[in-house]
Chain A
Amino acid sequence: MIVSRRWLEALLGRPLDAREVAERLTMHVAAVDAVVPLHPDLGDVLIGRVLEVKKHPNADRLSLCRVDAGGAGGPVEVVCGAPNVQAGKTYPYAPVGATLPGGLKLERRKIRGVESNGMLCSAKELGLGEDHAGILELDTAAPPGSRFVDAVPVADHQIVIDVPANRPDLLCHKGVARELAAVLGGTVKLPPIAGGAAPAGGTARGGSAARAAEGGVPAGRRRASAPSGRVTSGVVDGVEVRLEDPEGAPRYMIAVIRGVKVAPSPGWLTGRLSSIGQRPINNVVDATNYILFELNQPLHAFDLARLNGSAVVVRRAKPGEKIVTLDGLTRTLTPDMTTICDAKRPTIIAGVMGSADSEVSPATTDLVLECAYFQPTRIRRTRRALELSSESSYRFERGIDMLGMPDALRRAIELIVAVAGGELREPPLDLWPEPQQEKTIFLRPERVAHLLGMPVEPGEIERRLTAVGFFLAPKDGRLAVQVPAWRPDVTREVDLIEEVARLKGYDAFPDELRPYRPGTVPDAPEEQARARVRQGLVRLGLLEARTMPLGPPDGPDSVTILNPLSAEDAHLRRRLLPGLMRRVEYNWANRNRDIRLFEVGTVFRKESGSPVEEWTSVAAVLTGARRPPHWSEGAKLPDMDIWDLKHHFELAVDLAAPGCTVEPATGGESGWVAVQRGGEVVGRAGPLEADAPVWAAPLFGLEVRLALTGRAPVVYRPLPVQPPAERDVALVLPGGVSAAQVAAVLQRAVGPLLERFDVFDEYRGPGIPAGHRGVAWHCSFRDPERTLREAEVDAALARGLAALEDELGVRRREG
């Protein structure tokens, strides 16, 4: 919402500093996003009065003017080419040395042989409009030599307010001024309309029952008139009005103004609208827009002559009914939408947009002026369904001031008559079948103190709330607070407490830490597990990545997003590895060869029964050198291989899924799987196929499902005091016999004396039969109680070897 500083000044009757306004609004009302000065580049331009106009001696089209610009040296000679220059009139004058918008710097120079001291300016030269046919004639009492920007209301500030969704009252100047009056002091008074006179008569109730006007009620204190029957139709100045959809339009007012002359608006009105970035259109439309931005009452003026049958009918649209809106598009309506119709067809989509063929045109003489309250939800749904929004729909959606409508309509009529002529022959019609009262909320001063942590005197509470339009009356130790209808956001006590807090200023409350009780919620085990895994993988030298969980499908049980941003991102990830592989390819594209990434993130799967299953997954990708190259070791270090992967996988499984075992994958898969005690596979690791450049090293990946179970506590074993006995054993393994099998047999056959058993070599070639391989183990034997004798060790080893030969056909290697 853009507000004009000058417009606010007119409402508050006092000068304002735009920066201060922005600061106060931000700290007490709503954030100000920007303060934009308008025409700051006119500071050098002065008010000049033309004293005398003579013909230029050397040019027919030029004149020579004597201009009083307030200078001490008396009037100056200025050459002027405008046809409209007249002695005795006042114009913007740019002296020598002045800089004009666009950067033009004026110098003293001769024009056709006569020296010109500066220039008289057109609107275009000042950046104030497109008119450059003549110089800009000013209507100002400011003395010659005054600064143009001080004398003429063009210099202004746009104050851009980020109005929250619950504060429709801030969508107009009066509402913002009301808040400023509360925090800066002062009162809000609508400025008189130039040439205006309050229209005679009040408003008429439906039928012929005239209803007293509610004029003269101070802002913030208006009473709705008592309900007077559920009248939903009436006639005003020959126009029949029928409210057939009171749910969609709870209050509906119509005025008829006859004999207007549609023309451009006067300067003050176009100036106001331009100052907030609104394009002036014609006097009637500009007048309704002015009221919109002054009072937040959307109005719709339409051409009486273009109505079929002099009737205004407010009803739900019929299925499939069509309307061509102002933007030229044909819209198909549904019964969920309220329309304003003539006797035959819809002319307006209520609260959203009118049709091209009912709009005010230069030929219009008789106006129907609508002032309505449309039901916010209805408008929102219509706007969404049609994907069509307007300044009006924006305001109706948020809720306008239903009780302020007569005042707004009265002022609109006054303004239209003032700027476009015409007359109101009958009071407006007010169809309001179920009149509403302002709501009352009870406020307990002690609750204010309780919630805000600091007592606020009842007098201050009353002062603060009254300043923004609430009405307070003590009742049974509480305060009965009447809420003005422009504040739909205030519905319960706590809303009033917020009002007190913000108007007092949040900064007025101390920020001292007071004692608190510890909470009952334990740390989430998920978070502990994630932290443990992350730290462990970082220690392995991996960098944590974060990838997008949205992407292409990954198997039939991928979860589909119903309304994706794009077809490529229409699924939730089922695994982390595909995303990490894409990040590896991205790094390859940046010529990085050594990449070690991991991610701990949520993955999703379609589940029968529950709609979506989600869990935390842990994944890593590895490619490139095993460690950073060093000059002492030559250019090339070995790249990571499948055995680096195995170690990383074992550690990742130990961190993420404690208790699971890592086993070679079966069934044609290469690599390993992590298997839970029950046999369920919870992780996989293996080489990955990626779109790799030729210089890239092999890529490996692992992924394991994060278990929430903690790890078993570490069991401490006392350090041995007896020395070990060491033996190296080279064995020949027939094809199909695995190291794990050998280890198992040896361990079982030798028993607890065999303390450690580490592979230190594998060999194929001369001396080993074809299809066999040589594998060498380093064995450590130890008895915790006593020193082993050599013979005992040899006997134990022989037991093991015998079992190996027996069970696996594994023999000791000769020589």
Chain B
Amino acid sequence: MRDLLAALAELRERLQEIPQADERRLHDLKTEILGRKAGALTQILGRVPTLDPSSRKEVGAAANALKLEFAAAIAARERELKRAAGSVAGLDLTMPGRAVWRGGLHLVTQVVDEICDIFRELGFTRAVGPEAETERYNFFALNFPKDHPALDAQDSFYLGDDLLLRTHTSPVQIRTLERYPPPIRVVIPGQVYRRDPFDASHSPVFEQIEGLAVDEGISFVDFKATLATFARRFFTADTRVRFRPSFFPFTEPSAEMDVQCQICKGVGCATCKQTGWMEILGSGMVHPAVLENCGVSSERYSGFAWGMGPARIAMTRHGIADIRLFYESDVRFLAQFAGGVR
């Protein structure tokens, strides 16, 4: 009995180790003392029933008390350690945090969405059409004359006699006019193909956004206002725009819209070739022949249409000199825009 009480007294000393123990040491102490089979206290308690009744009570009480003390001390230390793990005291807070991979949309997708969202606020929904098109949709219904230079095979990729990869998203104008009655207000994003060798400023494949509005009484003023509003929302509210004559078979009057150069703010720089302007989109009032080709009365209805290149707009806005970067998919390039461009 004496030896057991002495052993208990010895164990009690070890209580002092607990407040200093780290997580690992604490775990060891717990096993050493309170372990289910080999724990020192467990073994003492295991011998209590073999003692004579007079000692049994004394030793049992002392051992149980010590067990509770240990349990309490260990629990207290465990709480303390847990608190310390969530505390920043003594840490170098300049060390890097723990990250997860960050995904992101392609820059061109972001610009397409941004443009389409602005037009959505102006009442335009998103429409799409096939990339392999017939000559009728790609050219003739759009009022291209039969021997227009754009029909030269060297400018388009042909898949068959009367099947080519669309050279613009304009065929969807025709598909939309054939399928839905006016009023029509759509933007048409999509991939288009031109037979240009891949170089810093040309890609045989690129993204285009077409737009079309057709209704009774749509005028040149509506056309200018809608596109100028877009430009001021896409760039800045004080961006100046100008419209100047141009030529497209499917619009009349036709216009090119320029915005004030975003780099020099109109003063003139190398990017804008000292003009102070950047060409943003080709546009115009829908040619009456296009409406007629789709069975829409050109006397009753009028409208406007435009087309623009989001990749080129992104290049101008972000100072990207080489269009091939958009297709190389270098993760260092893609990751730069992963957080969004605005």
Residues of A within 8 A of B (CB): 26-31, 34, 164-167, 377, 380-381, 384, 450-454, 489, 492, 494-495, 497-498, 501-502, 506-507, 509-514, 516-524, 526-527, 531, 534, 537-550, 559-565, 569, 572, 580, 583, 586-587, 590, 592, 594-597, 601-602, 604, 611-612, 614, 627-628, 630-632
Contacts and interface: CB of A to CB of B under 8 A. Distances in A.
B217 A164 contact: no
A519 B221 contact: no
A450 B288 CA distance: 14
B245 interface: yes
Which of B101, B198, B225, B335 counts the most chain A CB atoms within 10 A? Answer: B101
A27 to B, nearest CB: 5
Contacts of A632: 98
A707 B176 CA distance: 22
B220 A501 contact: yes
B121 to A, nearest CB: 11
Nearest to B134: A611
8 contacts: A384-B152, A506-B224, A519-B123, A519-B184, A520-B182, A541-B103, A587-B330, A632-B98
B243 A507 contact: yes
Contacts of B204: 548, 550, 565, 569
A521 B273 CA distance: 40
B158 A592 contact: no
A439 B102 CA distance: 65
Nearest to B189: A527
Contacts of A509: 220-221, 224
Contacts of A384: 152
B61 to A, nearest CB: 34
A277 to B, nearest CB: 19
A544 B105 CA distance: 5
Given A517-B183, A614-B130, A451 B219 contact: yes
B131 A602 contact: yes
Given A520-B181, A592-B331, A612-B159, 14 more contacts: A450-B217, A512-B221, A514-B221, A526-B128, A534-B105, A541-B102, A543-B329, A543-B338, A546-B106, A562-B159, A562-B160, A563-B158, A565-B197, A595-B331
A630 B149 CA distance: 59
B132 A377 contact: no
Contacts of A520: 180-184
B183 A518 contact: yes
B221 A453 contact: yes
Interface stretch (B14-22, B48-56, B246-254): B246-254
Contacts of B182: 520
A563 B125 contact: no
A489 B335 CA distance: 49
Interface residues of B, number: 91
Interface of B: 95-106, 108-109, 113, 123-128, 130-132, 147-149, 152-154, 157-160, 163, 165, 176, 180-186, 189, 191, 195, 197-198, 204-205, 213, 215, 217-222, 224-226, 228-229, 241-247, 252-256, 273, 285, 287-288, 302, 326-332, 334-335, 338
Given A31-B244, A451-B285, A452-B219, A502 B253 contact: yes
B103 A381 contact: no
B253 A497 contact: yes
A521 B105 contact: no
A564 B105 contact: no
B163 A542 contact: no
A513 B225 contact: yes
B253 A523 contact: no
A166 B147 contact: no
A631 B96 CA distance: 8
Most buried by B among A452, A519, A523, A564: A519
Given A546-B108, A586-B328, A590-B332, A521 B125 contact: yes
Contacts of B241: 511
A713 B40 CA distance: 61
Contact of B101 (A27, A548, A583, A596): A596
A546 B217 contact: no
A151 B337 CA distance: 58
Contacts of B125: 519, 521-524
Given A452-B220, A511-B228, A521-B185, A29 B245 contact: yes
Contacts, number: 255
A249 B32 CA distance: 113
A539 B331 contact: no
A65 B158 CA distance: 73
Given A506-B245, A538-B103, A451 B185 contact: no
Nearest to A492: B288
Contacts of B302: 450-451
Contact of A592 (B105, B123, B326, B332): B332
Contacts of B97: 630
Nearest to A28: B245
Contacts of A601: 191
Contacts of B102: 541
A285 to B, nearest CB: 28
A516 B329 contact: no
Contact of B224 (A489, A497, A511, A545): A511
Contacts of A614: 130-132
A527 B189 CA distance: 9
Contact of A628 (B95, B99, B165, B254): B99
A630 B99 contact: yes
Nearest to A33: B273
Contacts of B130: 614
A611 B106 contact: no
B222 A596 contact: no
B242 A27 contact: yes
Nearest to A164: B247
A31 B247 CA distance: 11
A342 B243 CA distance: 52
Nearest to A542: B103
Nearest to B108: A546
Nearest to B172: A524
Q: Which 4 A-B pairs have the closest CB atoms?
A: A453-B219, A453-B221, A541-B101, A164-B247
A524 B126 contact: yes
Nearest to B217: A450
Contacts of A538: 103-105
A519 B183 contact: yes
Contacts of B147: 377, 380-381
Contacts of A167: 247
A506 B255 contact: yes
Nearest to B326: A546
Contacts of A451: 219-220, 285, 302
A502 B242 CA distance: 13
B209 to A, nearest CB: 12
A519 B330 contact: no
Contact of B103 (A537, A548, A630): A537
Given A497-B253, A513-B225, A507 B242 contact: yes
A511 B221 contact: yes
A574 B125 CA distance: 30
A597 B124 CA distance: 31
A543 B108 CA distance: 13
A632 B91 CA distance: 12
Given A509-B220, A519-B183, A563-B157, A165 B127 contact: no
B106 A514 contact: no
Contacts of A628: 99-101
Contacts of A548: 198, 204-205, 327
Contacts of B243: 506-507
A307 B154 CA distance: 38
Contacts of B229: 511, 513
Nearest to B113: A531
A540 B103 CA distance: 7
A501 B242 contact: no
A628 B100 CA distance: 6
Contact of A506 (B99, B154, B180, B244): B244
A597 B327 CA distance: 12
Contacts of B197: 565
